Amino acid sequence: MRKQDTDTTRALQGLEDSRSSVRLRAAMAIGTAPDPRFVDKLVERCAIEPEFYVRDMLTWALTRHPASVTVPELLKELRSERAQARSQALHTLSKIGDRQAWPAITWALLSDADDEVARSAWRTAVVLVPEGEESGLATVLSRQLGRGERETRLSLSRALVALGEVIVPTLRAAMKDPDPRVRAHAIATERLLLDPDAGFEFAIEEAKRVVALGGTGEEE
């Protein structure tokens, strides 16, 4: 028992080491030998960890623990003032895939002013949406069409495309939006749905041409 406590202390200290390689190994060790005592510290570290690959290992370690322990702690993070805490908690919830977290994916998160948080919320919503509610989610997500730069728009398009054919009516409505960015994004998203291999850059450039010519992208 004493050795186990020593190992626990060493692992927890490792998560705070100044060397990212040590933090990575500590997260890997915790995930390899899950213990509910680690969950709070893992969640806390997710909010401040600067290295992507370490954050990814922290998420993996959390997924190795029971959802009944991790999900409540992650849901608390969704109310954090720290954007990274919200974003990483959402990302981890998407990996756990427990649909009991669905009610926590609010409009506030889906429209978060921080692009990384919003992108994580879109991906998580698509994973957790209950069967039969995909159309409603598509309507909500479509309100973000035209938002941000390439990576943000691509993330939204991918989230919408993952919902399948139910997005078509919503996209068709967005193609008539007065904002040309919204129209172009809607057209590009539909092109990706119909031809996933086309590539986003090609789809968005083609959509811009359609909008410039006064079209909506709808089939006549």
CA 30 to chain centre: 24
Domain that holds residue 115: 1-128
Looking at the structure, do residues 115 and 9 belong to the same domain, yes or no? yes
- pLDDT tens digits, 88-122: 999 999 999 999 999 999 999 999 999 999 999 99
- pLDDT tens digits, 124-183: 999 999 999 999 999 999 999 999 998 999 999 999 999 999 999 999 999 999 999 999
DSSP classification of residue 129: P
Alpha-carbon span 189 to 64, nearest angstrom: 35
Q: Which of 41, 53, 40, 49 is nearest to 18 (CA)?
A: 49
pLDDT(3) > 60: no
CATH of the domain at 115: 1.25.10.10
Q: Which of 200, 195, 191 is nearest to 168 (CA)?
A: 191
pTM of the entire predicted model:
0.88
In a domain, 211, yes or no: yes
φ, ψ of residue 33 in degrees (nearest 5): -130, 75
Domain stop point among 93, 128, 163: 128
Domain stop point among 107, 128, 149: 128
- pLDDT tens digits, 202-213: 666 776 677 766
Alpha-carbon span 88 to 182, nearest angstrom: 28
Looking at the structure, do residues 24 and 104 belong to the same domain, yes or no? yes
In a domain, 192, yes or no: yes
The total number of residues shown for the chain amounts to 220
Looking at the structure, do residues 14 and 74 belong to the same domain, yes or no? yes
Domain count across the chain: 2
Would you place residue 53 in the very low, low, confident or very high pLDDT band (cuts 50, 70, 90)?
Answer: very high
Looking at residue 128, what is its pLDDT? 98
Looking at the structure, do residues 12 and 110 belong to the same domain, yes or no? yes
Looking at the structure, do residues 108 and 147 belong to the same domain, yes or no? no
pLDDT(220) > 60: no
Looking at the structure, do residues 23 and 115 belong to the same domain, yes or no? yes
Looking at the structure, do residues 110 and 152 belong to the same domain, yes or no? no
In a domain, 220, yes or no: no
Looking at the structure, do residues 59 and 107 belong to the same domain, yes or no? yes
Looking at the structure, do residues 17 and 86 belong to the same domain, yes or no? yes
Domain stop point among 90, 110, 128: 128
Looking at the structure, do residues 160 and 114 belong to the same domain, yes or no? no
Looking at the structure, do residues 106 and 168 belong to the same domain, yes or no? no
Looking at the structure, do residues 120 and 204 belong to the same domain, yes or no? no
In a domain, 203, yes or no: yes
Alpha-carbon span 110 to 124, nearest angstrom: 10
Residue range 64-85: average pLDDT? 97
Q: Which of 184, 117, 183 is nearest to 155 (CA)?
A: 117
Alpha-carbon span 127 to 106, nearest angstrom: 14
In a domain, 209, yes or no: yes
In a domain, 198, yes or no: yes
